[in-house]
Each structure stands twice: as structure tokens, then as C-alpha cells.
Amino acid sequence: MKLVRYGAPGSEKPGIIDSQGKIRDLSEQVVDISSATLAAGALRDLASLNIDDLPLVPGEPRLGPCVGGVGKFLCIGLNYSDHAAETGASVPPEPVLFTKATSAIIGPNDDVRLPRGSTKTDWEVELGIVIGSACKYVSETDALDHVAGYCVVNDLSEREYQLERSGTWDKGKGCDTFGPLGPWLVTKDEVPDPCALHMWLDVNGHRFQDGSTATMVYRPAFLVSYLSQFMTLHPGDVISTGTPPGVGMGQKPPVFLKVGDRIDLGIEGLGSQHQRVVEDRGLPDNA
């Protein structure tokens, strides 16, 4: 299944994508595609539906983040050896873990707001893992049993804040709008091998990233197991698993985002995103 959330920010409704790529409304079946829905085991019931019997959503509504009620937004750094090399780093002996603030989460095609004074905002196409059931101390063998599905993540990063402003990476990773999720939450039955997916990212029509999840060092089952040794993973938690080479800071000379730029990115079978970079004018009207 390809599950979506559509509508105005903060008022998204649940939907599912039919065989023609159209959105069908799920409001009569579930309240939302959210942590609560996943925890209640609703995916099993949704899988039994005849999608063509559901109401067709007219037009092309805004798509929200593909999962609501995210409790933890966990990210893995330097998880592709060729990306580590382009940044002058080496693959660490254990996964690098950092977090993004949940206030960074936006829809897949929403505007990215360039932080005030930023000169080094960068892009990163990544495979996102969405947790479907709680787990702690889970084995690598059983880890994927606790995964609901996968999605596209753009792990936007302000490199000056991340690397030059002291402390952890989080201050450069958790800026508002730095975590587009979606367009869909694709259930794991439709992704038989998450380690064999083509992934790409363009800026202003130029292809910067063109890679594959096949070159991940630490793979999804390992990452879920590994993280569960440190904390309980809950339904709706998102794990962003790292990026292939081609980020802005790895270009010679480096290239960073500016107001007016367009970002297009996607992962095979998981859909695509596009964002415009705009000036951050402070709190939005709906805050």
C-alpha cells in the first residue's frame, strides 16, 4: 500500500494511492496515518480493502508528511562510504546517530525555508524507515517485523551550524522545514529489498546525487536493532538512514542552496518530492 496524508497543514486527512495513481479517501476507516493508527494495527485492516470502492479525492491536494504524530526523528550519519569520503570523513565503527526536531517535518512538496543568514544549507536524499510496532533490544533477525514501511526523506542540513558552531550536529539538522517526508508511506510488503533502490536528487535541473541504497554500510535491519539497544522505538518513529555522494559540501567548489532554488528528489518505488527554497520570515501564519 501507498498511504498518504493530504490537505492543509495541521488538518491532513488519510488516503491511499490507487492503481491509477489517484488518492482515495480513508477517513471512514482511520482517523489519520499516524503513530496511533500504526500502533492499533490498522495496516492489517487497510490491506483487506478494495481500494476502488473508496471515495476518489478530487483535484491535486497538497500532500502532508506521510506519517503524523512522529515521536522521534532519528538520523544516521556517514552511512555510505563514498559519501563519507567526499566529506573528508571515514565510515565510523558504529552508526553515527543524531536527531532532527519534529518541527522540521513538512510535506514532500512544501517550501524549504532558508534559515536567516544561512550560507551553507545542503541537501541529502535518504531512505526513511517508519516504525510500525514498539520494540526494544530486538534482534537483527526480527527487526524488520517492527517496520511499517519506507519513505523518501530530504535530510536538509546547514553545514555551518552543523560543523562550525560547536557541539552536536543537531543544530544544523533540525531547522524548520529541514525534514520533508513522503510523498507516501509505502508498506514493507511493496519493498521486498530496501537495499536495492535507486535514489537521486537534482537542484535546478542538475543531477547531483545518483546512487543506490545498495551501498549503505549499516542496513535497515541492523539499524533498527542497533537503535533499539539504546531506546524503545515506537510506532510512527522515523529513521533516516544516510545519503549517497553528491551533496553540496562535497562539490569542488562547494555548492549550497539559495532562495529561489528548486530541489527534486526521489527513490525507486517510493515516489518523488520537489521543494522551492524560500526566505524564512519567522513564524508562519498557522503556527
53 is a domain residue: no
Contact 4, 15 (CB under 8 A): yes
The sign one gets for the Cα dihedral 147, 148, 149, 153 is: negative
Chain segment 129-173, per-residue pLDDT in tens: 999 999 999 999 999 999 999 999 999 999 999 999 988 889 999
132 is a domain residue: yes
Three-class secondary structure of residue 136 per DSSP: coil
211 is a domain residue: yes
Reported confidence tier of residue 286, pLDDT bands at 50, 70, 90: low
Three-class secondary structure of residue 145 per DSSP: helix
CA distance 97 to 13: 32
58 is a domain residue: no
Distances (CA, A) of 167 to 84, 164, 172, 241: 20, 9, 10, 22
Q: Please name the amino acid found at residue 59.
A: G
27 is a domain residue: no
**Percent above pLDDT 90 for the chain:** 87
Q: What is the structure's pLDDT at 287?
A: 59
Mean local confidence (pLDDT), 261-265:
98
15 is a domain residue: no
Has residue 82 got a pLDDT over 80? no
Has residue 40 got a pLDDT over 90? no
4 is a domain residue: no
Q: What is the structure's pLDDT at 111?
A: 98
pTM comes to: 0.95
Domain CATH code at residue 162: 3.90.850.10
Residues 6+ apart with CB under 8 A from 214: 195, 196, 197
Chain segment 41-52, per-residue pLDDT in tens: 889 899 999 999
Question: Count of domains in the chain?
Answer: 1
What residues does 161 pair with on adjacent strands? none
What residues does 250 pair with on adjacent strands? none
Cell, residue 40: 492499533
99 is a domain residue: yes
CA distance 20 to 82: 37
Classify strands 179-180 and 105-106 as parallel, antiparallel or unpaired: parallel
Q: Which residue segment(s) compose the domain that 191 sits in?
A: 67-279
